[in-house]
Amino acid sequence: MIKATYKKYILNFKNPSGTSRGILKTKETWFIILEKNGKKGIGETGLFRGLSIDDVSNYEEKLIWVCANINLGLEKLVSVVVEFPSIQFGLEQAFLSLKSKSEFELFPSKFTKGKEAIAINGLIWMGAQQFMKNQIKEKLKMGFSCIKMKIGAIDFDAEIELLKSIRKEFSSKEIELRVDANGAFNPKNALEKLQRLSALEIHSIEQPIKQGQVQEMAELCAKTPLPIALDEELIGVFTSEEKQELLATIKPQFIILKPSLIGGFGGSKEWINFAAQNKCDWWITSALESNIGLNAIAQFTYTLQSNLPQGLGTGGLFTNNFESPLEVKNGTLTYNPTLNWNFNLT
């Protein structure tokens, strides 16, 4: 018999981080802990307030129910909590962790042996122009050749100037620039903004307009001068039929997969299959999980062998993250097996 418990944990940002949803100072998360025959399994259910579809008042009740019914097994539990994608993901991790030789090595590979790395983008947070400029300089010093910049919070002209200043110094061959609008553009003027951005040889733009405007997004994807990546658009789309229909209707150039928000490994694989049918590429991004969730996402991502930079560089954002073998080096995420885990929830 498996015994299951859960625990809440508050992650504190080193620096308040600006997004289109406001300034983040803390991020709450939960852990499912399984125990059987002296072995432990750990999974993070990374709820994201204001973004996750499962940001609902009965979230903890659902965790209590899951822990009480843990012996139904993974498959049954995952099918019951379909509308709680972060809990699905936490359960997948916890069961894998319980079965694994080491509770943190979920997908043994050349990555977990420290022999290969995952290319990642450097994330630039929203804020005043100088603050954003400083972050860009820092990321370039750290060896990143792909930078993702959040846009839509300051004046668009100022953001264009900032991007222009990067392009003056670095060509698109030297630095790949991705931008993420988090739905900040209006469908009426989005195309004009995309045209201005495309002049700067931007690799792609995430979610230019708010999710749920399917026809408008389909029109944009058909006319866009630069590739569009769907992000928030995938949240809350639960059935296979809905997923297929969404991608067939919008025909995006990319989709972005956040396992905590779309049903974990299973949900991600399903989206990837439908993306392939629609000649659409993808990459995987963390959603401000602790190193426990980030580790699971990174190990899973490595097994998929994508050749695009992934969005997995968020481990260093918190003051009270768990010590782990994950390290960011020269624009890549690496796993250093000589370093130990320190998973302490007190």
Residues designated as active site = 150, 258
**Stretch (H or E) spanning 180:** strand 176-180
- Give the type of residue at 30: W
**Sign of the C-alpha dihedral computed for residues 268, 123, 26 and 185 taken in this order:** negative
Q: Cα dist. 206→2, 122, 152, 161 in Å?
A: 41, 15, 11, 19
Q: Which two tokens stand for residue 335?
A: 């796993």
- Tokens standing for 187? 């469908």
Burial of 329 (0-12, 13-18, 19+ CB in 10 A): exposed
Instruction: Confirm if 284 and 299 have CB atoms less than 8 A apart.
Output: no
289 contacts 75 by C-beta, under 8 angstroms: no
121/124 Cα distance (integer angstroms)? 9
Chain centroid to CA 260 = 8
Which DSSP letter does residue 102 get? S
Task: Give the E-state strand segments of 37-164 in sequence order.
Answer: 39-45, 118-119, 122-124, 146-150
- φ, ψ at 116 (rounded to 5°): -135, 155
Specify whether the CB–CB gap between 298 and 326 falls below 8 A: yes
> What element of type H or E holds 302?
helix 291-304
